[in-house]
Structure 1
Amino acid sequence: MAAGVSEAFGAIDWSAPWLAPWCGLGQPLAQQLLQDDPSVHQALQTAAPKGAPVVFVPQSALSEGTAYEQYIWDTRRVPTRDNLHDFFNGLVWLQFPHTKRRLNQLQAQAIATHGVQAVRGPLRDALTLFDENGAVLQAPEPIWQALRARNWQALFVDLRPLWNEARLLLFGHALLEKLVSPRKPMVAHVCQAPCAINLAAHLDAWLAQDIDTQRWAGKPFAPLPVLGVPGWWPANGDAAFYADPLVFRPPRRGDGG
């Protein structure tokens, strides 16, 4: 890889709390990229289990003018560049194959029906938003009530001890890429997982089944500034961290439903 690309992979802090669910899979692959210098698609393919729904191929496999999502659906091949964005996308494919395949299926169906247009439309827009910046939160109901209402004081200060009962998993590969260089305004678009499921063991199957076209077209996500999550950023131990209206924005009319 080029020197700048290698530096990007070397900059990943695998001790970051948001990377905890990805460390076991991602850190060895990042080390392989740094030490052995394969292409990203080659490194990802070495980690793919037998019978995986897709294979990783170089970006050059995607012909000019061919829709990316349609190509993946038709060929079961994921064009992959040598960068962090596609590296994290590959990790998500490896860890959540059913969910990624479901997202890809719906994208390809929309493209087949409507073609590639300047505006994606409500469903494709929601699918892309979650694919790039989504997260799944399993938490007690008071946390969800405060999050939907954008009551940041209640969410992060008053209910802070309750976060010990919550689990947040970042799904969006663009968000994971951006958090290699964390900044306070970074936001995840969060969907709710029921507390009854074992999130570690069954998240992929549950999430793939949860993606309902009609409901998701309405973007049933809650915006969550991820560095505000208790324990995820040292500065948020001070309640003043949340007194930043440019990041922790007050609710708008209609929020909280």
Structure 2
Amino acid sequence: MTLPAVDWAQPWLAPYRAPGEAVAQAVAQHTSVAAALQALKPEGTPDFVHQDALPAGQAYEAHIFQTRTVPTRDNLHDFFNGLVWLAFPQAKRRLNELQAAEIARMGVAAVRGPLRDALTLFDENGAVLDAPPALWRALVDRDWHTLFVTQRELWAEARLLLFGHALLEKLTAPRKPITAHVLLTHTATGPMAFDDATLARNFDAKRLELKPFVPLPVLGVPGWCAENTSASFYADPQVFRPLSR
């Protein structure tokens, strides 16, 4: 198979670029995505196996927890999922543990339930922001003009980590409406560090069940889109929506 082309120069792919390029090159040489990921996996990361290893009717997250293997398809979605596993194995394992515990407690139903829904939302579309308090306040208030125009220079002190693999997949074809769900982590004690262990420790079931996320159209981030140098870029209420009160 051949994966669609990925522009590794995009700033949001920086945490994943080195392994991503290596895996993509191996796949281009007729290696499966699972085998290419497996060749790079660090200690503590589950094994990557072909999707056929997932028994029919078995819940995906429960299977990962029980077997310590990640069934992987030969597509861009699972490619990015694998890259996040490589970069943040403790955080991914913590999300999986919470998913598996909830499946064991509640079973698998047509509706996931609030905790599994929140876990899936972050795993697929989540992000973490390290930014000055003024940017956090503007983001929570959906004050887009302050966030991206009047306080734009503060973004030089900020970092945005895209964690969700579906989000990364969507951004292979960047579009203005693509939105991340940012985990609210900035407290009186300061922002959350981006290291794997700290990220994993911040995944608390009771807190996540409340969906402590705030939407952020990621192409609004300075430097992430050439068009956003103009203030008019943000005058689009279909994308940069005001806070509903």
Does TM, scored on the shorter chain, surpass 0.5? yes
Supply the distance in 1 between the matched residues of 2:19 and 2:222 (Cα, whole angstroms): 25
1:29 aligns with 2:16: no
Provide the secondary structure at the position in 1 that maps to 2:39. helix
Mapped contact 1:41–1:58 kept (Cα < 8 A):
yes
Mapped contact 2:91–2:200 kept (Cα < 8 A):
yes
The runs of 5 or more residues in structure 1 that have no matched partner are: none
Supply the distance in 1 between the matched residues of 2:16 and 2:61 (Cα, whole angstroms): 24
Partner of residue 134, structure 1: 126
TM-score normalized with structure 2 length: 0.96
1:241 aligns with 2:233: yes
Mapped contact 2:145–2:234 kept (Cα < 8 A):
yes
Partner of residue 32, structure 2: 39
Note the alpha carbon deviations across 1:40-95, whole angstroms, 9 max, x for none.
0000000012x333100000001110000000000001000000100000011111
CA shift, 1:192, in A, is: 4.0
Note the alpha carbon deviations across 1:108-134, whole angstroms, 9 max, x for none.
011111111111111111100000000
Partner of residue 252, structure 1: 244
Partner of residue 16, structure 1: 10
Equivalent AA in structure 1 for residue 112 of structure 2: R
Equivalent AA in structure 1 for residue 39 of structure 2: T
CA shift, 1:198, in A, is: 5.1
Which aligned pairs between 1:169-188 and structure 2 lie closer than 5 A?
169-188=161-180
Mapped contact 1:138–1:192 kept (Cα < 8 A):
no
Mapped contact 2:193–2:199 kept (Cα < 8 A):
no
Supply the distance in 1 between the matched residues of 2:6 and 2:45 (Cα, whole angstroms): 27
Q: How many residues align?
A: 242
Mapped contact 2:35–2:48 kept (Cα < 8 A):
yes
CA shift, 1:168, in A, is: 0.4
TM-score normalized with structure 1 length: 0.91
- Structure having the higher helix fraction is 1
Supply the distance in 2 between the matched residues of 1:7 and 1:44 (Cα, whole angstroms): 14
Supply the distance in 2 between the matched residues of 1:230 and 1:120 (Cα, whole angstroms): 36
Supply the distance in 1 between the matched residues of 2:30 and 2:96 (Cα, whole angstroms): 29
Equivalent AA in structure 2 for residue 44 of structure 1: L
Mapped contact 2:142–2:242 kept (Cα < 8 A):
yes
Mapped contact 1:134–1:171 kept (Cα < 8 A):
yes
1:59 aligns with 2:51: yes
Provide the secondary structure at the position in 2 that maps to 1:189. strand
Supply the distance in 1 between the matched residues of 2:76 and 2:191 (Cα, whole angstroms): 34
Supply the distance in 2 between the matched residues of 1:29 and 1:82 (Cα, whole angstroms): 12
1:167 aligns with 2:151: no
Supply the distance in 2 between the matched residues of 1:25 and 1:71 (Cα, whole angstroms): 25
Match of 2:202 among 206, 210, 216: 210
Provide the secondary structure at the position in 2 that maps to 1:136. strand
Equivalent AA in structure 1 for residue 34 of structure 2: H
Mapped contact 2:99–2:119 kept (Cα < 8 A):
yes
Measured on the aligned residues, the alpha-carbon RMSD in Å equals 1.2
Provide the secondary structure at the position in 1 that maps to 2:7. coil
Equivalent AA in structure 2 for residue 165 of structure 1: E
Mapped contact 2:23–2:36 kept (Cα < 8 A):
yes
